[in-house]
Amino acid sequence: MNLVLYGIRNCDSVAAARRWLDERGLVFRFHDYRAGGLDPDRLKSWVREVGIETVLNRKGAAYRKLDPTVRAELSGDRAIAAMMDDRLLIKRPVLEGAASLLVGFSPADYERVLLPKPSS
């Protein structure tokens, strides 16, 4: 598995995911998309795979700071453009390279996807 964890360095959810991966000895590369940027095609591929509602962080401070009329219009290409303009609008972390794309950190989801139980 070639795991890449995307997020921002000072995010608690990203830190929890990094800790979870480290504790299980899973090798991954961390990409801070605030410092290192993000390819728009990668963001579009995430949206295609899991949907805009999964990728767009509607619970964060960056979303709450948006004008209500802007928030009402955030869908499709407008939402992608907004996330590229302010990467804090992307739900964190995003983990690529597993059997499925994981957005947000849930220990149960990481366990299910990354440490599948052997079939008996």
CATH number at residue 36: 3.40.30.10
What are the tokens at 97? 């390279």
The pLDDT of residue 98: 84
The pLDDT tens digits for 80-91 are 999 999 999 999
The pLDDT of residue 84: 95
**Domain-embedded: residue 66:** no
Confidence of residue 118 (pLDDT cuts 50, 70, 90): confident
Max CA separation in the chain (angstroms): 54
**Domain-embedded: residue 77:** no
Which of 11, 100, 18 is closest to 54 using CA atoms?
A: 100
**Domain-embedded: residue 29:** yes
State the total domains in the chain: 1
**Domain-embedded: residue 35:** yes
Domain containing 10: what range? 3-55+91-114
Separation in Å, CA 29 to CA 70, 95, 96 = 34, 10, 10
Percent of the chain with pLDDT over 90: 85
- Does the annotation count 11 as an active-site position? yes
**Domain-embedded: residue 30:** yes
The pLDDT tens digits for 57-82 are 999 999 999 999 999 988 889 999 99
Confidence of residue 120 (pLDDT cuts 50, 70, 90): low
**Domain-embedded: residue 101:** yes
**Domain-embedded: residue 34:** yes
* Catalytic option among 5, 7, 11, 63: 11
**Domain-embedded: residue 86:** no
Contacts of 116 (CB under 8 A, 6+ apart): 99
